[in-house]
Amino acid sequence: MNRHGFTLLELLVVLVVMMLVLSAAAPRFGALLPGMTLKSQARQVAALLRESRSQAIATGQVLTIANRQQQLWVNGKKVALQGLTLGLDQPLYFYPDGTSSGGQLTLGNNAGRLRLELDWLTAEVSIHEG
């Protein structure tokens, strides 16, 4: 007899094997979440710094980034950082000519730490491990 397709038993066996493989891999995905959250928020803060530079140029005013009680403040407005520690010893300034004060800001959680560096001349933001 010529068979076309699979039997119900064969399909069930494949589904059970796939479920076993996925259930073994699922806990590993959970361990990746804190690191992904840290990187995602670091990219958001870097984008905020770039936007702050543009805003300083557009308005012709100095824009300030500061750390107050482990919270990031941009020109007097609080920015939410969920579950992260913030390291910023001195305020960062963006000037109307497109330059900045330069400096670094660190973000961390239980997955590690990322350092955002701000170049004083170009106000370019870069993200580094540690």
Asked, for residue 23, whether it belongs to a domain, the answer is no
Distant-in-sequence, close-in-space partners of 103: CB < 8 Å, separation ≥ 6: 88, 90, 92, 117, 118, 120
**Digit-coded pLDDT (tens) for 10-23:** 899 999 999 888 88
Distance (Å, rounded) from C-alpha 88 to C-alpha 66? 7
CA-closest candidate to residue 47, choices 109, 101, 126: 126
Query: Is residue 4, in this structure, part of any structural domain at all?
Result: no
CATH of the domain at 41: 3.55.40.10
- The residue range of the domain holding 56 is 34-129
Q: Tell me if 98 is assigned to some domain.
A: yes
Alpha-carbon span 97 to 60, nearest angstrom = 8
Query: How many domains does one find in the chain?
Result: 1
For the entire predicted model, the pTM comes to: 0.73
Does residue 8 lie within any of the structural domains?
no
- Asked, for residue 41, whether it belongs to a domain, the answer is yes
Domain contains 121: yes
Residue 11 maps to a domain: no
Q: Which residue has the higher pLDDT, 87 or 75?
A: 87
In a domain, 27, yes or no: no
Rg (C-alpha) for the chain, rounded Å, is 24
| pLDDT tens column, 34-74 | 678 889 889 999 999 999 999 999 999 999 999 988 889 98
- Give me the pLDDT at residue 130, please: 77
